[in-house]
Amino acid sequence: MYSTQPHQPHQPDRRRPPPPPQPRGIPDGLLIGLIVLLLGLTLLVWLAAGLSGVLTHGAWPDSVSVAHTPVAIRQLASSPHDLGAAWPDTPPSQLPGYGLFWGLLVGELLILLVLTVFVVGTVTRWRALRTAQRTAAAEPAGPGSGSGSGPGPGSTEQFPAGQPVTGQFPVRHETPAGPDGTAAAGTSPAPAPAPVEFGAVEAEAVEATALGAVAPVPARTPTVADPPPELSDRGIHFGPAESRRNAAVQAVRDAAGPALVVTSSPSVWAETKDARAKLGPVLVYDPGHVCDTPARLHWSPTSGCEDMETAAARAVALLAPVRPQARIDATMADTAETLLQSWLHAAAIDGRPFKQVHRWAQGAGSAHEPVRILRTHSKASSGAAGLLESALTAHPERRDVAQQLTVRALSALSTVHIRETCTPNRTDTVTLESFIHEGGTLYLVGEAIEDPRTRPGAMPLLTALASHVVGHGRRLAARSTDGRLDPPMALVLDDIAAVAPLPQLPELLATGREQGLHALALLRSPEQAHSRWPHLDRA
């Protein structure tokens, strides 16, 4: 059967709100901006015309007014050199030259641009500061800061006078209540679990209440984790950044003699430099400008490389951050060390700056120039020229890869301030050699880089200087009567694997105390230590 009801047309859904009307025409903000731009340009042109007339003839030109300036702008747009057509009512003798006029106008625009950027930056910083303050004020209080009558999570517990507060949080265990609302007779509170200890925090028992026994749980405080016994006895400790920083600060303060401090935290330098300055000179080697100080030590890695053995040790230290660990790459790494050793020796005996070594590594100029220096110079080590020439010509593919490795290690020299730190002053050289005798402190501060094989930054320079200071300390100890430094030299190596991975760290930890070199290596984890020094636990 067919329906007898008339057909109802489709009705639109009236519950859906109608679409908002689309704006038409030019926005008001754009109109206001155009008006302000035109008014500003008018004032600038008027001011430039008047000031140029004052500078040229000593008086403001007649008929140069703001009202006539829009017409003048239109004339200048078609004829920039004809100021007389722009201001026809002004005597030509009072008008300046077009060069001075346009120069003043451009100067006004530049001044206005600088002021605008300054104002925008100031307002932006002010707004960001206000937003941060409001956000901090609006953050809810943490646990234990609320109010309440019971010992709930939001209550503030009152501890008896004379008992220390150890930063522990109470854990409540409830007991079944009797009919009158009190604890049921014969029902003892549930025994509190043994407190869990973190670091050096010790739990203290808190008196049980009517609701049940309250067991203290100590707060989790950052401490330096205990490494395996075989590493702990040799001065290696692991922990998070904050605990490592605190341990480094305490170790520097406790050092009675000279100290070498390697760290990625400038606060270690800031918190200890004043106390160390009372004991001796304080030096800061900061090629990356991490610390806020103008007094930075300058040091050239070619220093002392007139000796071939020193040049070899310096090359090993410079390449340590980027040296591949795979055995298949050992030959290539040895070739890179040979090249860098020879270049350092050639630059040192010929009085070349360290940046010349970077140029030789990049292949700039004659590739055989260092060979010529090593062959003809009177101070060159015997056989150095042949060693370098064989490395350059024997295996071209191996040489190219070795040169790329050397260029990567010295890539930080493309930065101006890092290249400047490799140009030493005479006083820097003398102070660096004597700070151990004077009980001074040398801070090596750099950026922590977890994977330096692709972007080492200033890590090779920091490693080379740290290795140089350790070697200098060993030589001083060998020349002493008892074969050790007295007082001993403290080596505080905070985040050493990510700042300056010393190649001789395993040997230093094994035999350093016998020579008066007391090393404290602070690392993030055993995995970090073993990835940088695979044979550290067997040294």
For 360-396, the pLDDT digits (tens) are: 988 865 668 899 999 999 999 988 999 998 888 878 8
Residues 407, 318: contact at Cβ < 8 Å? no
DSSP for residue 513: G
Weakest-pLDDT range from 87-91, 220-224, 264-268: 220-224
Task: Work out the pLDDT band at 207, boundaries 50, 70, 90.
Answer: very low
Task: Work out the pLDDT band at 152, boundaries 50, 70, 90.
Answer: very low
> pLDDT, tens digit, for every residue of 488-524?
999 999 999 999 999 999 999 988 899 999 999 999 9
> Which residues 6+ apart lie within 8 Å of 410 measured at CB?
318, 357, 358, 361, 460
> From CA 449, how far away is CA 457, in angstroms rounded?
8
User: How far from 498 is each of 258, 320, 372, CA to CA, in Å?
Assistant: 23, 12, 38
DSSP for residue 230: H
Residues 211, 497: contact at Cβ < 8 Å? no
Backbone angles phi, psi at 177, to 5 degrees: -90, 150
Q: What is the structure's pLDDT at 145?
A: 43
Tokens standing for residue 142: 């943490």
Domain range summary for the chain, segments of one domain joined by + = 35-123, 222-299+424-539, 325-422
Element (H, E) at 398: helix 396-409
- Position 409 pLDDT exceeds 60: yes
Give the pTM.
Answer: 0.59
> pLDDT, tens digit, for every residue of 118-150?
999 899 888 888 888 788 777 654 444 444 444
User: How far from 190 is each of 107, 176, 295, CA to CA, in Å?
Assistant: 83, 10, 64
Q: What angle do CA 537, 436, 492 make, to 5 degrees?
A: 35
| Beta pairing, strands 259-263 & 489-494 | parallel
> Which residues 6+ apart lie within 8 Å of 217 measured at CB?
168, 169, 170, 171, 195, 196, 203
Closest-CA residue to 301 (of 412, 390, 404) = 412
Q: Fill in the amino acid letter for 429.
A: T
Tokens standing for residue 288: 């990356």
Q: What is the structure's pLDDT at 8?
A: 53
DSSP, collapsed to helix, strand or coil, labels residue 177 as: strand
Percent of the chain with pLDDT over 70: 76
- Position 156 pLDDT exceeds 80: no
- Position 76 pLDDT exceeds 80: yes
Percent of the chain with pLDDT over 90: 39
Residues 48, 101: contact at Cβ < 8 Å? yes
Residues 483, 512: contact at Cβ < 8 Å? no
Q: What is the structure's pLDDT at 163?
A: 42
Average pLDDT taken over every residue of the chain: 79
Q: What is the structure's pLDDT at 538?
A: 54
CA 340 to the chain's CA centroid: 28
DSSP for residue 215: E
Task: Work out the pLDDT band at 117, boundaries 50, 70, 90.
Answer: very high
Strands in 259-263's sheet, in edge-to-edge order, are 236-238, 517-523, 489-494, 259-263, 441-445, 282-285
> From CA 174, how far away is CA 515, in angstroms rounded?
61
Residue the block writes with tokens 């014969």: 186
Other CB atoms within a 10 A radius of the CB of residue 115 amount to: 10
Element (H, E) at 73: helix 69-78
Element (H, E) at 284: strand 282-285
Backbone angles phi, psi at 293, to 5 degrees: -155, 140
Residues 517, 477: contact at Cβ < 8 Å? yes
Residue the block writes with tokens 């209540």: 177
Closest-CA residue to 340 (of 469, 475, 464) = 464
> From CA 105, how far away is CA 48, in angstroms rounded?
5
Q: What is the structure's pLDDT at 139?
A: 61
Q: What is the structure's pLDDT at 364?
A: 61
Closest-CA residue to 265 (of 279, 239, 246) = 246
Task: Work out the pLDDT band at 202, boundaries 50, 70, 90.
Answer: very low
> pLDDT, tens digit, for every residue of 286-344?
999 999 888 899 999 999 999 999 999 999 999 999 998 888 888 899 999 999 999 99
Closest-CA residue to 336 (of 255, 428, 252, 408) = 408
Closest-CA residue to 258 (of 465, 480, 494, 469) = 469
User: How far from 249 is each of 233, 262, 268, 359, 498, CA to CA, in Å?
Assistant: 20, 11, 6, 40, 18
